[in-house]
Structure formats: structure tokens, C-alpha cells
Amino acid sequence: MRRVAPLAVLALLTASPAEAWSHHRWAQASSIARDGLVAAALGLPAVEGDWRGAEQSGLSMGAAFGVTEALKYTIHERRPDGSDNKSFPSGHTSASFAAAASLEKRYGWQVGLPAHVVAAFVGLSRVGAKKHFVGDVLVGAAIGEASGWLLSSKRDDRVRWLPWGDAHSGGATVAMRF
């Protein structure tokens, strides 16, 4: 893990921001960054021989995709560029945050922080590309983050925590195995 993490961080940080800022191709840059995050969320566990981690990442991204698509076909919001009525929520953003949250939950903040920076870039670039409104991106990020945190576990499963919330309060449940 220690030898692969720096390469994963470098790949995540350099995947697409240069493309977006030099050519102003926000839509293309967001797709490249999303694809990089998905590849990292599936590839890092595979390189590490962590097949449970790869399975959980796939499940997290699949759940985010399912919820996002269900909402897109239920709520017909026109995109800012007028291309169709599937603006809400942002699928690029939900997939990116699901991948980033899975990576952070499984491997810690050293991998999760750069992954979340790239996921935030994806969301911002979707707004910059006029494919989504800010609310579309925020809901996509929430869907992805929730699926990543709820459907992934730490690689070292001796300590687990689960955030929870309802209409009146919120918190976290912690379980430890000795």
C-alpha cells in the first residue's frame, strides 16, 4: 500500500485539472477526472490484492449510479445548456464522490483527501460546462458520499464507525473488535 499510494495520489491530482484550465473543456475534463477516480477506486484495491475493497468500491459506485439514474428519470430538470431534461442530480459528481469516499474509508485520508479534491473538481467543472446547476452537483455529491461511506469498510476492520442521522439529531456509532 505504501508504495502504490504516492502513485495513486499523483495520478488523481494530475488527471484533468491541467486539461480543463488550459483548454477550457470543462465537460471533457470532468469525464476524464471521473474516469480516473473510478479507475483508482477499482484499481488500487486490485493492485493491493484487496478484492473485498474492489467489491465494496464497485458496490458503492453502483448504488450511487442507481439512485442518481432513478432521480434523473423521476425529476425532469432541464440542463443549463438546454440539451436534455436529465440535469438532476449530477451523475459525474455522484460517481466521483462514491469513488472518493470508498477510497478514504478503505485506505484513509492520505488517499481520500486527493480523491475528494478531484471529486470536487468534477462537480465544479460540471457547473462550468453548463451541464448542471449547483444544486444538482451538491445532491450528486451527497449521494456519492453516502454510498461510499455506507457501503465501504476500513481495510482494518477491528474498528468500524457508521454515521447516522434523522430529522432531530445525528451522530456516529462505533464498534471495536479486540
**Domain that includes residue 140, residue range:** 5-176
Spatial separation of the C-alpha atoms in residues 112 and 103, rounded to whole Å: 5
- pLDDT at residue 136 above 60? yes
Q: Is 106 in contact with 153 (CB distance < 8 Å)?
A: yes
Rounded Cα distance between 134 and 142, Å, is 12
SS3 content of the chain, % helix, strand, coil (to 5): 65, 10, 25
Query: What element of type H or E holds 79?
Result: none
Average pLDDT, the chain: 83
Q: What is the pLDDT of residue 160?
A: 56
What are the pLDDT digits (tens) for 138-164? 999 999 999 999 988 887 655 555 566
Q: Tell me, what's the pLDDT at 164?
A: 65
Enter the pTM of the model. 0.76
Instruction: Read off the DSSP letter of residue 170.
Output: E
Q: Do the Cβ atoms of 141 and 119 come closer than 8 Å?
A: yes
pLDDT in tens, 1-14: 555 555 455 455 55
Residue 135 identity (one-letter amino acid): G
Q: Which of 4-13, 47-56, 81-90, 157-166 is predicted least confidently?
A: 4-13
Structural domains counted in the chain:
1
pLDDT at 116: 95
